[in-house]
Every structure is written in C-alpha cells, then in structure tokens.
C-alpha cells in the first residue's frame, strides 16, 4: 500500500491569499464619486489649456519671452556646456509643447455636446471661427504648421460640431 503524502499549505501563504482575495473583493465593490463640471467650467478648462499650449508653442518657435541661447548665455555657459544647454532647453520646450498638447486635447474632449438647434448653430459658428483663429495653412515652417493645426483640431473638437446634424 502506498502512503499518500499530504502537502501542507503554509499559514503565511494562506493568509496572504485571503488578504489578496479581500482586496479584490473590496476593490470591485467600491464606488467612486465624480465631480461633474458645468459646460461653462469645461469651456474655461479648454481656454486655459489652449492658452498654455499657445504659450508653449510661442516659446518653442519664437523664443519668447527669451530664446534658449539667451537663457544659456545669461547662465554663464560657454563652449560645449553652452551648446548642451541650448540643446537641453530646446528639448524641454518641445516636451512642454507635447504635454500642453495632451492637456489641450483632453480639455477639448471635456466640453459639452450640443443638443438643441441653437447649440448646434453656436457649434457651427465656433467651428467656422477655428480656421480664422488658427490659420495653419499660413505657416511656412512645417513643424509650426503642424503645431497650429493641433490647436485648430482641438478647437473644432471642442465645438462638437460633428455631433450636430
């Protein structure tokens, strides 16, 4: 006759398993409240994000309020350190523009969808004004044209004109 070997589950493993199961149970039944925004607050968020994007775009493409070269020169950098400082500054400004782009598109998605005929008329007017406000075809530099096109796209997305018939 063969003896059966019983394997014992260590108490620590059992307690850990029960703890994980408890966390899963509590996490799956937990509710989270969401703060709803008014349409006005959503539009304020969009315009704030648009302003931050515009500031980052102007800083990158026009060196305003100061250029990277001026910032590095005022920092006392010379030679290879100056060249590296300018390159790092440009990278920082590009990263800032990319982060502002993400925030801009998220804010555009957060605006309210027009429901009534009047709201759709307002959405159409806003969408028509987007190209006037962000005339991306007027820019000869391809990178800047694409950056301005992002603002145009976000403006059109925020208007939600495509949800109207």
Helix axis angle for 142-159 and 79-109, nearest 10°, is 20
Domain boundaries, the chain: 37-163
What was the pLDDT predicted at 33?
A: 41
What was the pLDDT predicted at 35?
A: 58
What was the pLDDT predicted at 161?
A: 94
Please name the helix (run of DSSP H) or strand (run of DSSP E) that holds residue 85, with its range, or none. helix 79-109
pTM for this one?
Answer: 0.73
What was the pLDDT predicted at 125?
A: 95
| Backbone φ and ψ of 51, nearest 5° | -65, -40
pLDDT < 50: residue spans in the chain:
26, 28, 30-34
Sign of CA pseudo-dihedral 55, 57, 60, 62: negative
pLDDT tens by residue, 57-96: 999 999 998 999 999 999 999 999 999 999 999 999 999 9
CA distances from 117 to 21, 40, 101, 124 (A): 52, 19, 31, 11
């Amino acid at each position: 006759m063969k003896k059966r070997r019983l394997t014992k589950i260590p108490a620590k493993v059992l307690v850990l398993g029960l703890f994980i199961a408890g966390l899963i149970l509590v996490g799956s039944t937990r509710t989270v409240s969401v703060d709803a925004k008014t349409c006005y607050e959503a539009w304020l968020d969009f315009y704030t994000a648009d302003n931050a994007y515009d500031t980052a775009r102007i800083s990158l493409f026009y060196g305003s309020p100061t250029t990277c070269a001026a910032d590095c020169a005022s920092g006392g950098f010379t030679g290879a350190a100056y060249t590296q400082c300018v390159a790092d500054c440009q990278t920082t400004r590009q990263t800032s523009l990319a982060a502002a782009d993400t925030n801009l598109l998220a804010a555009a998605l957060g605006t309210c969808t027009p429901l009534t005929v009047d709201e759709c008329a307002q959405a159409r007017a806003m969408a028509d004004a987007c190209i006037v406000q962000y005339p991306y075809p007027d820019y000869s530099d391809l990178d800047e044209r694409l950056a301005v096109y992002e603002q145009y796209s976000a403006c059109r997305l925020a208007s939600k004109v495509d949800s109207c018939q």
